[in-house]
Amino acid sequence: MSQVSALIGLGNPGPEYAATRHNAGVWMVDAVARATNTSLRPEKKFLGLYAKVNFSGHTLHLLNPTTFMNRSGTSVAALCQFFKLSPEQLLIAHDELDLPAGQARYKTGGGHGGHGGHNGLRDIISALGNQKQFHRLRIGVGHPGSAHQVVNYVLGRPGKTEQSAIEQALEECLATLPLALGGDWANAMNRQHRFSAASE
């Protein structure tokens, strides 16, 4: 199994989207950047904000595409081409409607999710020539209860309790990430999947 060498956070660019649920993947990448005292900088060739960090002894490319969510694949494909990365070397962090806020799960391969799918994942799969074998970090944001409300829900901001739960889950992701980067998926998953943020 290839070592993960890039962590990509899905979201929409611009201040009006920064605090919305759809940007949970971006928050994860930002958390890793903060943990390594690094700032992501605009990188034209990757159509995103990029940094190279050393996280727990692992060299890791961080990328937050600044294309809109449904064009994320262009940015991811550019990074892969430049660094000659295979899909198996990618860990894509994204918001997940099927998990409650306060939970996060690792997953390898698969499609682009239920409920009509995740536009960011769908575009990445397509841009990688239909290869789906990248790893995902699914960050729970909960579900509004009705498919019709999904768009407004993911483009809305989480409430205070929900935000706190998501942040606790991201903290746990930071703690399990070194295991994942080292290829120890069983332990990373085991620990991450047992975690659920304490609700207020």
Q: Is the pTM above the cut of 0.75?
A: yes
Q: Tell me: the pLDDT tens digits for 13-52?
A: 999 999 999 999 999 999 999 999 999 999 999 999 999 9
Q: What is the pLDDT of residue 64?
A: 98
Q: What is the mean pLDDT of the chain?
A: 92
Q: What is the pLDDT of residue 119?
A: 87
**Which tokens in the block code for residue 52?**
């190279």
CB 170 within 8 A of CB 94: no
CB 117 within 8 A of CB 183: no
% pLDDT > 90, the chain: 85
Burial class (CB in 10 A: 0-12, 13-18, 19+), 57: exposed
On the question of pLDDT at 115 being above 70, the answer is no
Q: Tell me: the pLDDT tens digits for 176-193?
A: 999 999 999 999 999 999
Q: Tell me: the pLDDT tens digits for 70-99?
A: 999 999 999 999 999 999 999 999 999 999
* Active site residues per annotation: 22
CB 125 within 8 A of CB 136: no
